[in-house]
A = this chain, B = another copy of it.
Amino acid sequence: MFSSPDWLGYLAAALTTIAFLPQVIKTWRTKSADDLSLVWLTLFSSGVFCWMMFGVVLRSTPIILANGVTLVLAVVLGILKLRFRR
């Protein structure tokens, strides 16, 4: 289909990583996170941590970087969720 699917992987990684930024900004601005599931945030962050460790084992810098950034954003979202809990 393509001689090198790498660009598709980089595009996918960029989109799923950057995606969390508008959510963090929205939660920070509205100071409201009631509709966010803490179970989702916990499971998702744990999964992204495993992806990062997977990258460490494979010594793959793109996997480590993409998941490292996502992990930071997901953890910040979890902290905001707990902080703005009503």
The answer for the CA separation of A70 and B44 in the assembled complex, in Å, is 11
- CB-CB under 8 A from A50, the residues of chain B are 8-9, 11-12, 15
CB contacts under 8 Å to B, within A16-30, are 16-20, 22-23, 25-27, 30
- CB-CB under 8 A from A34, the residues of chain B are 32, 35
- CB-CB under 8 A from A32, the residues of chain B are 34-35
Q: Is residue A47 within 8 Å, beta carbon to beta carbon, of the partner chain? A: yes
Q: How many copies of this chain sit in the oligomeric assembly?
A: 2
Q: How many residues of A contact B (CB 8 A)?
A: 41
Top 5 A-B pairs ranked by shortest CB distance? Answer: A15-B47, A16-B47, A12-B50, A19-B43, A35-B35
List residues of A whose CB falls within 8 A of some B CB: 1-2, 5, 8-9, 11-20, 22-23, 25-27, 30, 32-37, 39-40, 43-44, 46-48, 50-51, 53-54, 56-58
